[in-house]
Structure 1
């Protein structure tokens, strides 16, 4: 049970304090699938965690700005980028209050979710405004949870995620809006099929 008075900053600092500073270094499969064929430009990651996706993009030639609410996450991500020998601009933002300046050819939000209530739809609408012409906004959310999950609320389907952004501003098109299945390993070695809700939007 989460304390109703707990701030998002405190929650996420505690979350990352409990984690190893060193991640597995593996980028998200959805990120790879939707971006590996793109010409590198300016990229923004919303909720970068320990930085695996940001490092992968930087290694492929993207100029990456990576954002997280947690100072500890940014500390871990910065160290991971240094070990990888890549330059990434890290910024600390509560995205419900502030947003990185500029326009981006790619904005990625992979599992930008929280057990605490927060206004994702407004964050994504702001992201639409910061996407450059021809740019891609890629949103990946948890869809179907594994059988051992104790997540307290139902996840949204891709169409439900998209519905929170409608009506889309003029000049936007939906490139992809579906659930993508994958097999997930559990804490006791069990396996289950889960799905990710993926929405990819292109600015024309």
Structure 2
């Protein structure tokens, strides 16, 4: 009689134990993801705050070979080119102030690569940006950031025509501005 009850009880206990272990492991993974998500969000917020207070540590958060793409078609810089171009802005009390109000963060399974998109309140109005961050032994570093103006679909034909007209007027000029 004991064997009859022991086997089902053992199977039930084993199944329950495995279910709890899986649940705990899943919860741990979710906790790790939430912690990384918070760490990345704080890092990006600090980066924006550095610019808002004209702190040169802004550029330290970018990888040496990191790229910043601005809103103008001529604005593609490596970190050091961007730092040289932005020098005049960082000589003021505030270089620029971007405040994220909608951000989505994703990362690779090994948590080494992080990508995000965000919407920002800026002096230009609402902007959108995307970025790629690498997690290294030294910490997080921005590998790529691209800022863009938001344009309502109703205005794209109007603005597109204006851009085309300006491009035709400036035909033959260099694409990349000098710092």
Interval containing the TM-score (normalised by the shorter chain): under 0.3
Question: Which structure shows the higher helix fraction?
Answer: 2
Give the alignment's TM-score, normalised by structure 2.
0.23
TM-score (norm 1): 0.21
- More relative contact order, 1 or 2 (CA 8 Å, 6+ apart): 2
